A and B are shown apart, each in its own frame.
Chain A
């Protein structure tokens, strides 16, 4: 049984995790950095295997390597063995990882909202189609609609356009006023303003709509037609792909298994990025959706604190406060409007793993009751997909995470060597 240990173990190698690993290592700690993906970078910096990662990612990774950070790729933490001791699944089997301190940098997932036809092949999560395109899905020449909510839509549309896709339009559910006010506030963040301006430049020629959302996807066996509502009009498109997501949701399962307090869906941290559990820190989108700049700053603070530095550097502290103000404006501007709750019809599938339709759920007041009665959220994804949707549609809390956080073999859950030996000798003895 493989057992590893380090002063600081960082879970998640996105911007927050990379920054944390660097800061901890530069403070002198021996650092292990794990990610379930094959390469570091997280959602935004991940690249196809043959492409150069973007500069900030390369730079952080160079510093991490220089300080001897040990990267464990394709290593997904699925459980907590005991305090400060994690279990992870890796290609070589399960590993036990002991830590002096833990930094949780597990990022966020996209929220999908069910609407008629959303389960047709050809409908993708916005970030999902980006990841698939990076790993080989052909998007060049394809007619694609981007819909849902949040700045991610713009990033994905620009990405798809760069790959040669024909982006038919971007449909943002938030009101034009709210988005304009948010855009105005970017004046306080010159860096972000530059990025946004560059992005909008790239998107010239693509129609953008506000107060707009998909109402129906149709096709025989494959997505062929999409109807969107724009204000009080409906428009229809013939298309190949729909890229769709309704904001991001922090990934907090591991934090919850460790016993950290989670409020309003995000891991609660203090100024040093400490969670409510001793020696456990959190940074990046796991602590709230704030974007990549905030993730890097929080990661740096968390990594240094996990390595024993007392207070965050004042400059980092100030920048983080500014970023948090940005995050609050972001959340406000892209709040989901209540009309979206009406998109889902009684026969719309909500839980794809178990084919549970919305109509089967409406009679239940309690998420666990509904789960036991209908199998909603009981499949392989354990509610990672339908949980955030039902949180919005019904106000149900996200499903309580349990061991294992991701599906693993039974073997991976046998942790004690004596348990296995006992089992191996059982019949020989008798």
Chain B
């Protein structure tokens, strides 16, 4: 018999998990403290991409990208889907060599990419600075609007009988039960906590070593400039910034939106919970973007905001059952790629909850690895 399921949190991860289990036939209840998409997801860029940082990250991003592609066919414009591809921009010869190696690595694994020399790069993105060495175009990457994805996933879940309770904060949860802040205790065959950064504090029985690190990020959005930018552009040294332990870093990462607007990122800060935009960080981030796109300085900025990415010490998400607490799963810790990897995450959770064969080896994402994290801290 299929278990009744409670999903805690309706960000992109909770929404994807809820949909997957509802479609599988489970009776699903989603409990969300505020409203769907109100957490990290509502602040995110929505870049769907494959990443080669580690084999485990590759497999999850690859699986998820394929799953998103299927959704694009199904939902298309409602997702604000843009099949713009990524260009990893190489500033110099050394970075171009990195690009070449990344391209070869992708090719071995059956993902198309194209190495761009200086001239081809400028032809692909005329607004890029002269003098950049080249880049790697990954045509299969794309961009969506995360709040739209949350809505579509939850609508799918509801069509399969799920209920969504917004404005319903969970106080704590354990194996097979959830307690609301109003004191109600709800039993369930399976509880999946996908509450983003709040996840550790919801565990009635703490998992030793479990910690999530909030990584603050700034974004700025421009007025509409249709055609100004064609690809999501990211600097090749991006992963250094994404996974580095520097307390504060900025990287060039810009995205064309379906509206013709340009979304400009990104920054990463480890040592702050301040929810306001910091002018100094914003300044560094925009200056960095303007090194690559000099004319960007003349574009009009309409708004800026920040969000917090739920990060783990080893840069991999936590997806799977909680050891020693039957009927309890976690799905969180996706840092800056939770949108990109939400569907793969949901497929892993579905397989684990229903005891089906997993779509890929779940071990690298398993919750039991957190025991080692105490040493990190």
Given contacts A79-B279, A427-B132, contact A416 B284 (CB under 8 A): yes
B166 — which chain A residues lie within 8 A by C-beta?
365
A183 to B277, CA, bound (A): 46
Given contacts A403-B277, A422-B287, A423-B288, contact A411 B304 (CB under 8 A): no
Of all chain A residues, which has the CB nearest B284?
Answer: A419
Nearest chain A CB to B22 CB, angstrom units: 21
B132 — which chain A residues lie within 8 A by C-beta?
427
Whether the Cβ atoms of B147 and A407 lie closer than 8 Å is no
A373 to B146, CA, bound (A): 10
Chain B residues 172 to 224 lying within 8 A of chain A, measured CB to CB, are: 220, 222-223
Whether the Cβ atoms of A404 and B290 lie closer than 8 Å is no
Of all chain B residues, which has the CB nearest A407?
Answer: B300
Interface string of B257-295 (1 = CB under 8 A from A): 001000010000000000001011011101111110000
* A426 CB contact (under 8 Å) in B91, B147, B296: B91
Whether the Cβ atoms of B297 and A369 lie closer than 8 Å is no
A413 to B219, CA, bound (A): 12
Q: Say yes or no: is B302 at the interface (Cβ < 8 Å to chain A).
A: yes
Q: Say yes or no: is A414 at the interface (Cβ < 8 Å to chain B).
A: yes
Main secondary structure, interface of B, reads: mixed
A413 — which chain B residues lie within 8 A by C-beta?
220, 279, 282-283, 286, 301, 304
B287 — which chain A residues lie within 8 A by C-beta?
414, 416, 419-420, 422-423
Count residues on chain B whose CB falls below 8 Å from chain A CBs.
43
Q: Say yes or no: is A408 at the interface (Cβ < 8 Å to chain B).
A: yes
Whether the Cβ atoms of A380 and B302 lie closer than 8 Å is yes
Whether the Cβ atoms of B291 and A415 lie closer than 8 Å is no
A79 — which chain B residues lie within 8 A by C-beta?
279
Q: Say yes or no: is B71 at the interface (Cβ < 8 Å to chain A).
A: no
Q: Say yes or no: is B305 at the interface (Cβ < 8 Å to chain A).
A: yes
Whether the Cβ atoms of A430 and B34 lie closer than 8 Å is no
A420 to B285, CA, bound (A): 11
B148 — which chain A residues lie within 8 A by C-beta?
373
Given contacts A382-B303, A430-B91, contact A403 B282 (CB under 8 A): yes
B288 — which chain A residues lie within 8 A by C-beta?
423
Q: Say yes or no: is A402 at the interface (Cβ < 8 Å to chain B).
A: yes
Of all chain B residues, which has the CB nearest A354?
Answer: B259
B297 — which chain A residues lie within 8 A by C-beta?
409-411, 414
Besides A82-B279, A411-B298, A414-B283, 10 other A-B contacts (C-beta < 8 A):
A369-B37, A372-B147, A373-B148, A378-B302, A380-B300, A404-B303, A410-B220, A413-B279, A414-B286, A427-B129
Between-chain CB contacts (< 8 Å), 20 pairs:
A87-B279, A365-B167, A366-B34, A373-B148, A378-B302, A380-B300, A380-B302, A382-B302, A403-B282, A407-B223, A407-B301, A410-B222, A410-B289, A410-B301, A413-B220, A416-B280, A419-B287, A426-B91, A427-B91, A427-B132
